[in-house]
């Protein structure tokens, strides 16, 4: 066995020597040819491709410059398509959010329009109330103070205060004097606070 391993070492050394003897000159020849071709302005790669493309079976494995250019363009177009699709997705998402904002704003507009209508209705009813109130005050102005005091004694203090505020000072005094003293005092205090 010892002899066998000793025999393998010289075989390996011989193999490495032969590789260097063949490999180094081969690399040197390739380098010299590349330099020579570049000086003569000959493109060996292109010529090799042309030759390989002319061989029937080999042409399936070798791509021409036109095919490479086609593949580059195709890849560039695919990348552009992907970018545009991403942009479309982004714009669709923005559109959806803007659409929901528009819907919310439309609902708010409807709500505000309803509030405006309600306020206009209230304003019209307040105008009617004011007109009715003015007629009521005129009625109390024409009444005798004792009769006005009897009627107002049965009304709420807020109504009494509002009516008495609308009357002139002398009429107000006559009606208050015709009321029961406790009620007249209460109404007087409220008149002073308003």
- pLDDT per residue as tens digits for the range 24-57: 888 888 888 878 877 887 776 667 777 666 777 6
| pLDDT exceeds 80 at position 92 | yes
Mean pLDDT, the chain, rounded, equals 80
Q: What is the pLDDT of residue 123?
A: 65
When pLDDT is averaged across residues 110-118 and rounded to a whole number, the result is 77
Q: What is the pLDDT of residue 89?
A: 95
Q: How far is Cα 183 from Cα 164, in angstroms, rounded to an integer?
A: 13
Q: Give the Å distances, CA to CA, from 141 to 21, 162, 166, 171, 175.
A: 137, 14, 10, 7, 10
* Most confident option among 14-23, 101-110, 125-134: 101-110
pTM: 0.38
* Most confident option among 27-36, 52-61, 95-104, 151-160: 95-104
Q: What is the pLDDT of residue 1?
A: 46
| pLDDT exceeds 90 at position 81 | yes
Q: What is the pLDDT of residue 87?
A: 95
| pLDDT exceeds 70 at position 58 | no
| pLDDT exceeds 60 at position 160 | yes
Classify residue 162 as exposed, middle or buried by CB count within 10 Å of its CB (0-12, 13-18, 19+). Answer: middle
Q: What is the pLDDT of residue 156?
A: 81
């Amino acid at each position: 066995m010892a002899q066998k391993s000793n025999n393998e070492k010289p075989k390996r050394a011989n193999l490495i020597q032969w590789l260097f003897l063949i490999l180094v000159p081969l690399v040197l020849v390739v380098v010299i040819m590349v330099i020579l071709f570049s000086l003569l302005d000959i493109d060996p790669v292109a010529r090799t491709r042309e030759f390989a493309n002319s061989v029937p079976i080999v042409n399936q494995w070798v791509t021409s410059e036109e095919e490479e250019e086609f593949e580059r363009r195709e890849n560039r177009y695919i990348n552009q398509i992907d970018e545009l699709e991403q942009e479309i997705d982004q714009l669709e998402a923005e559109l959806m959010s803007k659409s929901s904002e528009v819907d919310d704003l439309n609902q708010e507009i409807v709500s505000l329009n309803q509030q405006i209508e309600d306020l206009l209705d209230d304003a019209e009813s307040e105008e009617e109330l004011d007109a009715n109130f003015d007629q009521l005050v005129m009625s109390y102005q024409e009444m005798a103070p004792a009769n006005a005091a009897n009627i107002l004694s049965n009304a709420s203090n807020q109504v009494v205060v509002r009516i008495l505020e609308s009357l002139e000072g002398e009429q107000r005094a006559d009606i208050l004097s015709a009321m029961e003293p406790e009620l007249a005092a209460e109404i007087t205090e409220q008149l002073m606070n308003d």
